[in-house]
């Protein structure tokens, strides 16, 4: 059993820990998209409308599932559209949050900072994988 697990671990694209972390991030996007699809946040839906909320959910699910499936083996040419879809979904959320009625300034600032952080994290991934279809060292 241990040898089997080690074999699976060795199949993950280097650096393995980063690949696993990004895989988990994409998986969270897929979960978020599923949640939005099944039970859209009312505050966001009232601001964006049902059609754009469905597009938002679709971007999250598409990016999350595709990213989850392509990150561990290092299939970068397929991970790029996943990254872009997740970034677009995060941007849609940012627009929605920014357009909500201002209740408390600090709450808005914190929300926007988290959104920008998420965009930057996915931008780092996009920069890392943008030039190659697969790992050039393999």
pLDDT tens column, 47-98? 889 999 999 999 999 999 999 999 999 999 999 999 999 999 999 999 988 8
Based on the structure, what is the number of domains in the chain? 1
In a domain, 136, yes or no: no
Residue 135 reports pLDDT greater than 70 = no
pLDDT of residue 136: 54
Helices 16-38 + 105-129 axis angle, to 10: 130
In a domain, 20, yes or no: yes
Taking phi over 0 as left and psi of -120 to 50 as alpha, with beta for the rest, 100 belongs to beta
Q: For residue 72, what are the domain limits?
A: 14-129
In a domain, 54, yes or no: yes
pLDDT band, residue 134 (cuts 50/70/90): low
In a domain, 111, yes or no: yes
In a domain, 86, yes or no: yes
DSSP collapsed to 3 states, 60-109: HHHHHHHHHHHHCCCCHHHHHHHHHHHHHHHHHHHHHHHHCCCCCHHHHH
In a domain, 68, yes or no: yes
In a domain, 5, yes or no: no
């Amino acid at each position: 059993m241990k040898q089997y697990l080690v074999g699976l671990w060795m199949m993950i694209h280097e650096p393995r820990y980063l690949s696993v972390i990004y895989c988990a991030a994409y998986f969270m996007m897929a979960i978020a998209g599923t949640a939005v699809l099944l039970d859209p946040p009312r505050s966001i839906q009232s601001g964006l409308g049902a059609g754009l909320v469905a597009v938002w959910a679709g971007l999250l699910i598409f990016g999350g599932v595709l990213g989850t499936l392509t990150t561990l083996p290092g299939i970068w040419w397929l991970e790029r559209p996943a990254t872009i879809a997740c970034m677009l979904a995060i941007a849609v959320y940012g627009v929605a949050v920014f357009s909500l009625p201002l209740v408390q300034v600090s709450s808005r600032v914190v929300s926007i900072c988290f959104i920008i952080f998420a965009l930057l994290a996915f931008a780092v991934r996009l920069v890392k994988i943008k030039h190659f279809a697969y790992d050039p060292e393999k």
